[in-house]
A and B are shown apart, each in its own frame.
Chain A
Amino acid sequence: GAVVSQHPSRVICKSGTSVKIECRSLDFQATTMFWYRQFPKQSLMLMATSNEGSKATYEQGVEKDKFLINHASLTLSTLTVTSAHPEDSSFYICSASDDRGQGYTFGSGTRLTVV
């Protein structure tokens, strides 16, 4: 079946630094990539949607200059958390769908801790 590889699985960074999270679709073309944030014991909250080659569309309340999304190819999307602060500590998950819209494949998530 479809697989999305997400890296790193966990990262610790210092306040003020930037962190990049990668998601790769291994056996299909990810036309659309969704990025979610999940706080402990809570549901997945959509941060942004990106289509290959286009600018990402951010959900209300999500700072586009802080959470940079790049979807330059059909197999790779990245989320960069810039100038990270402790309140950015969370579980970040990507999800990819192809142009057939048949379903969504989730990555394994990245646990970000900002100290």
Chain B
Amino acid sequence: GENVEQHPSTLSVQEGDSAVIKCTYSDSASNYFPWYKQELGKGPQLIIDIRSNVGEKKDQRIAVTLNKTAKHFSLHITETQPEDSAVYFCAARVSWGKLQFGAGTQVVVTP
């Protein structure tokens, strides 16, 4: 089955700096790659997603890049703010619409 690896597990950044989280997937048939932000005690919130026919997508301070050949995709957050502190999960859609999640990255933005 699909295996999604996510790095790093924790990321500390200074406010205003950029944060990058990387994920790799194993199933070349995966065609949808969402990123979720999860705050403590809450459900995941979609922050950006990308489909396999697109290489890059941007939404204000957040961008995602996809390299289908290498089977990896990355989340980029620029100009980080304290409210960006949370756990971020990448995911890949596999057969029958199921999402396989990465292990998560705890992002801490220090003022």
Contacts and interface: CB of A to CB of B under 8 A. Distances in A.
Interface in A53-96: 57, 91, 93, 95
Contacts of A46: 98-99
Interface centre among A34, A43, A93, A107 (most CB of B within 10 A): A43
A93 B43 contact: yes
State which size class the interface on A falls in. Answer: 20 to 34
A105 B49 CA distance: 13
A43 B104 CA distance: 6
A43 B99 contact: no
B111 interface: no
Nearest to B99: A104
A6 B43 contact: yes
B61 interface: no
B42 A109 contact: yes
A32 interface: yes
A49 interface: yes
Interface string A1-43: 0000010000000000000000000000000101000000011
Nearest to A31: B97
B46 interface: yes
A22 to B, nearest CB: 14
Interface in B28-78: 34, 36, 41-46, 49
B41 A49 contact: no
A103 B98 contact: no
B89 interface: yes
B101 interface: yes
A101 B49 CA distance: 13
Contacts of B34: 103-104
Given A103-B34, A103-B49, A44 B44 contact: yes
Interface of A: 6, 32, 34, 42-44, 46, 49, 57, 91, 93, 95, 97, 101, 103-109, 111
Interface of B: 34, 36, 41-46, 49, 89, 96-99, 101-104
